[in-house]
Structure 1
Amino acid sequence: MGNVPAGPSKPINVVLSRSEILPGDHIYTSRGAYDHHGIYIGENRVIHFQNSVEGTSFASSTHPFGPCSVCGYHSGMSGVVLTCLDCFLHAGNICRYEYGVKPGLSTFLPASPERKWCTAVSCDPPEIVIRRARDLLKDGFGTYNLLWNNCEHFAIFCKTGQYMPLQGGQVNWTLDMLQPFISFPAAVFVLGGNRN
């Protein structure tokens, strides 16, 4: 795994144009209170993972009169889904989740906004990423859970072949919100820190 080497530090959380995204990219878009993640597979299509509530509310607001005429996306679709880029974005911007980012002081501090959109973990080549996403479209990715099995975990798994529940931005955001209420030793324990 991890055949794509870590490169020099990259700009994080940059809005991209459609021409800048490549097949196999882990992309995300803001949907207000949260970011939605998926794998761009080319030809204006994205494979992503969503819960039934998200699928119902999102589809009914983007296509109130029936399924999308481009991809067939409709209200009530949940689990791993294949949609057009427009249905995935829901009028939002495209950003790319970066892999192989060299850790820096600001990148992984709890208060750093960049911590949500990058990882030091390297990723696999695009053809493997797309194959994983297509396999999960067929086989599923389990039951959606906001903290432990969500769209970001799905995209990270597609990119790396590893399930990393504590790697995601939603988990980091939740831990950041809880930080004032838990002591430092408890936070180290929860995050699996080394006591040496």
Structure 2
Amino acid sequence: MFPLQLFNIFFATSPVKAAVSEDALSVYKRGDLLEVPRTLFTHFGIYLGDNRVAHLIPDILPVISKNQAAVRKMVTNHRLILGVIAKVASVRVDSVADFAYGSEVLVNHMDDVCSQRALEGEEVARRAEKLLGSITYSLLWYNCEHFVMYCRYGMAISYQTFKFCTAVRKTVCSRTSAYLTALLGVGTMLYLGSATSLTTVTTLLTSFILWMAS
């Protein structure tokens, strides 16, 4: 299993929750697509009005606890990380402050990126509301960006996933990567002292990667 520190690189965010003023909330309209830049990814949500944001977020707590009061609280990094690993998530409603988690909020930035014209705000919000509740999560194939893109543009796609897969393909298929993999394999065999141990480690690592990518 990858160490928890590696997941924190991808999913950790600042624990400081900035207050959202009334003037800031007045900028948002029902059906707006909100973006929150993170360290290495962007989190997305749909504004429903009245300081409410619908967003798809992984969360392990509903699986291990029936305490609804605790589940409704802001999702912490550890809850999120374990939710990603377990592939359990939900489309839930939070305040703008809880959704932003201390980061700057961008509004309808994807309108300039997506070739598809945005739907009417009320239709966008209704689509988001219909999807509220538990949902099967996939880091690559159905994440928060797929959710908002379906709601606002009618197609569940993720530019982040596309860029990530493109980068991985270029890296894996490179000649340098092949050389490094071969050297790593030989080094691991020498260190472990047996091909059986190497096979076990490789099998476990491969299984985990396939689980997260599915």
Q: Which residue of 1 aligns with 2:57?
A: 50
Q: Pick the aligned partner of 1:168 from 146, 159, 175.
A: 159
Q: State the partner residue of 2:105.
A: 94
CA distance in 2, matches of 1:100, 1:28: 12
Give the alignment's Cα RMSD to 1 decimal: 2.8
Residue aligning to 2:118 = 123
SS in structure 2 at match of 1:40: strand
Corresponding position of 1:143: 136
For residue 129 of structure 2, the aligned residue among 134, 154, 160 is 134
Cα distance change of structure 1 residues 86 and 148 upon mapping to structure 2, 3 Å threshold: same
Unaligned runs of 5+ in 1: 1-16, 57-65, 102-117, 184-196
Is contact 2:46–2:148 with CA below 8 Å preserved after alignment? yes
Where in structure 2 are there 5+ consecutive unaligned residues? 1-23, 63-68, 81-88, 175-214
Change (3 A) 1:100 1:33: closer
Q: Secondary structure at the residue paired with 1:152?
A: helix
Return the TM-score normalized by structure 2.
Answer: 0.54
SS across alignment from 2:44: strand
In structure 2, distance between residues paired with 1:84 and 1:99:
21
Deviations, residues 60-80 of structure 1 (Å, cap 9, x unaligned): xxxxxx859xxx434559411
| Contact persistence 1:49–1:150 (CA under 8 A) | yes
Aligned to 1:158: 151
* Distance in 2 between residues matched to 1:32 and 1:99, nearest whole Å: 19
Letter aligned with residue 132 of structure 1:
R
Q: 1:20 aligns to what? A: 27
Give the match's secondary structure for 1:46: strand
| Aligned equivalents of 2:150, 2:47: Cα separation in 1 | 14
TM-score norm. by structure 1 comes to 0.58
Q: Deviation of residue 180 (structure 1)?
A: 4.0
Q: What are the superposed Cα offsets for residues 11-57 of structure 1, whole Å, 9 maximum, x if unpaired? A: xxxxxx5443221111110232221101011111100001125x79x
Paired amino acid for 2:166: L
Tell me the amino acid that sits aligned with residue 21 of structure 1: Y
SS at match of 1:20: coil
Question: Which ranges of 4 or more aligned residues in structure 1 deviate by more than 3 Å?
Answer: 74-78, 97-101, 180-183
1:23 and 1:42 in contact (8 A); partners too: yes
Q: Point out which structure has higher relative CO (alpha carbons under 8 A, 6+ apart).
A: 1
Identify the structure with the greater helix proportion.
2
Amino acid at match of 1:81: R
* Aligned equivalents of 1:121, 1:48: Cα separation in 2: 21
| 8 Å contact from structure 1 (residues 28, 94) kept in 2 | yes
Determine what percentage of the aligned residue pairs are the same residue: 26
Contact 1:26 1:40 in 2 (8 A): yes
